[in-house]
Chains A and B, each alone.
Chain A
Amino acid sequence: MKKLDLIKLPFNKQNPITVQVLGVCSCLAVTAQLKPAVVMALSVTVVVALANLIISLLRKTIPPRIRIIVQLVVVSMLVVLVDQVLKAYMYDVSKQLSVFVGLIITNCIVMGRLEAFAMSNPPLPSLLDGIGNGLGYSVVLVTLGFVRELLGSGTLWGYPVMEKIGLFKIGYENNGLMIMPPMALILVGIIIWIHRTRNKDLQEQ
């Protein structure tokens, strides 16, 4: 596989959320607003990329029988680091994300990439694969955060867009369903629908 494909594929035909349907839990929980969605996306990207790199470097020394434990230790370390950085520099966002930063440890995308890729590939491709998958996850998260904050709260990154363009004066109202997690699931469904309509080879028979 070409190196560029490792980054490109997760955006499209190997997208962790819309094709592999992994990491859906966090993507429903943190996307009510754009800011936490972006921060979460970046955190996961950093964790997947670095975890992939570290595990790939260690892959020949890890005994197969305890590999999951080793992977978990590495991931936990990275997550704790990310969590501490967020608490230090973005305290309000860190509070909004609450347990979901910690839950990156159990994010299936992270474990999935470690098992499926990093355990059997050299460091550089593993790093690229981690970045690619992290960004593939990010694209969906940011899209959801954008749509949900815009239609649900009428703001973007806290800026009152809908009010500034004067929509409220002509009777527009925020859609309360948008900030509820079920709507995120429905939106993910719509994204999957569009994605599969455009890529016929992804449709199951």
Chain B
Amino acid sequence: MFDGLRNFITKIKPNFVEGGKFAWLQSTFEAFETFAFTPNTVTHRGSHVRDAVDMKRAMITVVIALLPALLFGMWNVGYQTSLTAEWWPYEQGSAASWWYCLWFGFLRMLPLIVVSYLVGLGIEFMFAQIRHHEVNEGYLVTGLIIPMIVPVTTPLWQLALAVAFAVVLGKEVFGGSGMNFLNPALVARAFLFFSYPTHMSGDSVWIAADLWGSDAIAGATPLGELAAGSMPTASALDMLIGTIPGSTCETSVIAILLGALVLLVSGIASWRIMLSVVLGGGLMGLLFNCIGANAYMQVPFYYHYLLGGFMFGAVFMATDPVTSAQTNVGKWIYGLLIGAFAVLLRVLNPAYPEGMMLSILLMNSFAPLIDHCVVARNIGRRAKRAARKEVA
């Protein structure tokens, strides 16, 4: 079967190279060919380091790491609806209801994922074609993350617009994958947040009312309850497992930690960043505990890990290798500040119930500066050391 596909691709290839009938589809062809088979082009000059982990493998690993959160998110979309909707066909707590939760969530999430991939990949292919670049794999992850961090009732046209905005202005303007300084998935979310605030925050966007349409049932997130000045009604255990309203796939800390395990074992994401984000958030939380001026400041510091998108951001978004700091010391500074700013924004600014998005975007734009300072300091230290040796 694979031989047949290989032969077919080899047969039609001449049409797509320079001078062929479909030369203008070069990048698209190249993308599908390398998607199906390992490229057989060989470099001829210079020395090269070969590694089994290429872009495709790294991206697929991240997608695998996202799966637990994705599956749990789908189930939770159904579960939240089953708790409140009167039309729910199965008895609460029965096995049939459990499976129907997953199925319902799957059907609700599917359009979001399809739209995200269609629009995003469409634009990526277009730009690659115009610039005669290869189509890059980066969007595989971004396109999955975007539907995972929006409310389930987000209208599809708004999502499409946000994806287009994020891919064009968050990424392609700067030269495509690897050149962007902001996390494209967060740019999409920020666009939605500022453009259509009524669909992105408040009490009545988190739980889908029925299978079709964008109607929602009212239900506050723990984060929303805290911003309103009261303690969350959900217990810490619920928040740890994730059976609370929230953006589709950000609620379950356990599922996200499973993903984190995959990322850490495979070495795709930096443990320094994950750890420092968690430390930064915890320290800021403790500091607020010491002040304790209102209900939000008195929340136990570890609640911040369980609430909203803190863990999802720490594991999947802050660690984006393109937009994070590159030096090891820089990663610590970058992570600590993300965690600290996220908690700071949550507690002090009621207009933005979730600080994680803005905090990561802010530090994304500071990451190059942090790296610059770390490198400059290192150069200065070594120069001093060399000068000392010469004197001695």
Contact = CB atoms under 8 A, between A and B. Distances in A.
Interface of A: 171, 173, 175-178, 180, 186, 189-190, 193
Contact of B195 (A171, A176, A189): A176
A186 B194 contact: no
B175 interface: no
9 contacts: A173-B158, A175-B195, A176-B196, A176-B197, A177-B191, A178-B195, A180-B194, A189-B169, A190-B169
Majority DSSP secondary structure for residues of A touching B: helix
Contacts of A175: 195-196
B211 interface: no
Contact of A177 (B155, B157, B194, B199): B194
B173 A193 contact: yes
B169 A177 contact: no
B173 A176 contact: no
A178 B169 CA distance: 15
A179 B197 CA distance: 13
B173 A177 contact: no
Nearest to B156: A171
Nearest to B157: A171
A15 to B, nearest CB: 20
Contacts of B214: 171
Contacts of B157: 171
| Chain B contact patch, size range | 10 to 19
Contact of B196 (A173, A180, A190, A193): A173
Contacts of A176: 194-197
A186 B195 CA distance: 14
Contacts of A180: 194
Contact of A186 (B155, B169, B199): B169
A149 to B, nearest CB: 15
Interface string B301-315: 000000000000000
List of 10 A-B pairs having minimum Cβ-Cβ separation, nearest first: A177-B195, A177-B194, A175-B195, A176-B195, A173-B196, A176-B194, A176-B197, A186-B169, A171-B155, A177-B191
Contacts of A193: 173
Contacts of B191: 177
A116 B173 CA distance: 33
A178 to B, nearest CB: 8
Contacts of A190: 169
Contacts of B199: 173
- Most A CB within 10 A of own CB, among B173, B195, B197: B195
Contacts of A178: 195
Nearest to A175: B195
B158 to A, nearest CB: 8
Given A171-B155, A173-B158, A173-B196, 15 more contacts: A171-B214, A173-B199, A175-B195, A176-B194, A176-B195, A176-B196, A176-B197, A177-B191, A177-B195, A178-B195, A180-B194, A186-B169, A189-B173, A190-B169, A193-B173
Interface in B185-199: 191, 194-197, 199
Nearest to B194: A177
A185 to B, nearest CB: 11
- Most A CB within 10 A of own CB, among B158, B191, B194, B197: B194
Nearest to B173: A193
A190 B155 CA distance: 26
A173 B157 CA distance: 10
Nearest to B190: A177
Contacts of B196: 173, 175-176
Nearest to B199: A173
A193 B191 CA distance: 20
Nearest to B168: A190
Contacts of A177: 191, 194-195
A175 B191 CA distance: 9
B139 to A, nearest CB: 21
A191 B59 CA distance: 34
Interface string B263-300: 00000000000000000000000000000000000000
Nearest to A151: B195
Contacts of B197: 176
B129 to A, nearest CB: 16
Nearest to A178: B195
A102 B122 CA distance: 47
B13 to A, nearest CB: 31
